Amino acid sequence: MAEDASIIPTHTKAWYYSEHGSPGDVLKLDPNWPLPQQLNDDQVLIKVIAASINPVDYKRMHGEFKDTDPHLPIVPGYDVAGIVVKVGGEVKKFKVGDEVYGDINEQGLSNLKIHGTLSEYTIAEERLLAHKPSNLSFIEAASIPLALETANEGFEHAHFSAGKSILVLGGAGGVGNYVIQLAKQVYKASKIAATASTGKLELLRELGVDLPIDYTKENFEDLPEKYDLVYDVVGQGDRAFKAVKEDGKVVTIVPPGHPPAMFFVLTSKGSILENLRPYFESGKLKPILDAKTPVPFSQVIEAISYLETSRATGKVVVYPIP
């Protein structure tokens, strides 16, 4: 339902931190956080319905990116699904009332917004957003952007093409499960192997993995098969080269990377979400949600602390946001 732009509040409920540290120590809820009243011409104001949490949120909170992200206080959150309530003068793709989703930070570790998505309202540039797939709930949509776009960008860096094989290190997490799904459904890999712990091997099979590897029982680098691409989402790039073909490639999303592995940081693009929307609407791509989803807005501290344990399977989403 569209809201009358004339009654947009001046303040919003939002989680914030004004010093770096662990969520339980620094994260606070403010019922009257000031909401910017001016939109740039390319921006939209979104009533947040659901927001998902990513590892980058707690890493940022701990101050790991202070060199490129020096500003405090911060309302955390990258991923959003919600309803457009106001548009800037040059916005063409969206109108008031549209259901949208996206990752609102264009550069993953720098020029980050100080007003994120763990808030009743947030602001994002038009180019970072896409129309929500019609068959997905706001909870499902909020779980997608950063993880899916990250997974996809790695394939682009590797120039991956149909008929090649891939090994995914960390296949059951938020990014890893999309690497598997994209490899199978979009990039048409010839063979998919992936690592996970014992309890998550069945999920790998359900996603289409040909060779699930239980990392608690065997080392992937000791197995005889080698791969065209090793996609590292857990920080094992130093070992990845033992599993790659001579002319193969390694990509990693975990800094600092081990050359010649290709380390990259996501550039958020709404166009990627638009391009992949038919795969969600046809059911070929599916959001994977952790069993704790949805987490109430009042329990954001617990949700981020849980994500820090690395026990989540799929995405943790906060909903409803008041």
Q: What is the predicted pLDDT for the residue at 257?
A: 87
CA nearest neighbour of 184 among 173, 194, 174? 194
> Which pLDDT belongs to residue 258?
86
Q: How confident is the model at residue 3 (pLDDT cuts 50, 70, 90)?
A: very low
Q: Is 200 helix (H, G, I), strand (E, B) or coil?
A: helix
In this model, does residue 1 exceed pLDDT 80? no
Range 129-134 average pLDDT: 98
Per residue in 264-281, pLDDT (tens digit) is 999 999 999 999 999 999
Q: Residue 288: pLDDT above 50?
A: yes
62-85 pLDDT tens trace: 999 999 898 999 999 999 999 999
Q: Is the pLDDT of residue 4 over 90?
A: no
Residue 8 pLDDT > 90, yes or no? no
What is the C-alpha to C-alpha distance for residues 141 and 50, in angstroms, rounded to an integer? 8
pLDDT tens digit sequence for 301-322: 999 999 999 889 999 999 999 8
Listed in sequence order, the residues at least 6 apart from 186 whose beta carbon sits closer than 8 Å to its beta carbon are 152, 276, 279, 284, 285
Give me the residues paired with residue 53 across strands.
Answer: 316
Nearest residue to 27 via CA among 299, 295, 307, 296: 299
The pTM of this model reads 0.96
Once rounded to an integer, what is the mean pLDDT over residues 88-100? Answer: 98
Helices (H) and strands (E) in the chain, counts: 9, 14
Q: Region 245-252: what's the mean pLDDT?
A: 97
Say if residue 37's pLDDT is above 90.
no
**Confidence tier at 259 by pLDDT (50, 70, 90):** confident
Q: Is 267 exposed, middle or buried (0-12, 13-18, 19+ CB in 10 A)?
A: middle
Mean pLDDT, the chain, as a whole number? 95
Question: Which of 83, 117, 123 is CA-nearest to residue 100?
Answer: 83
At 2 the pLDDT is: 41
Query: What structural domains does the chain harbor?
Result: 11-132+289-318 (3.90.180.10), 149-263 (3.40.50.720)
Q: What is the pLDDT of residue 6?
A: 53
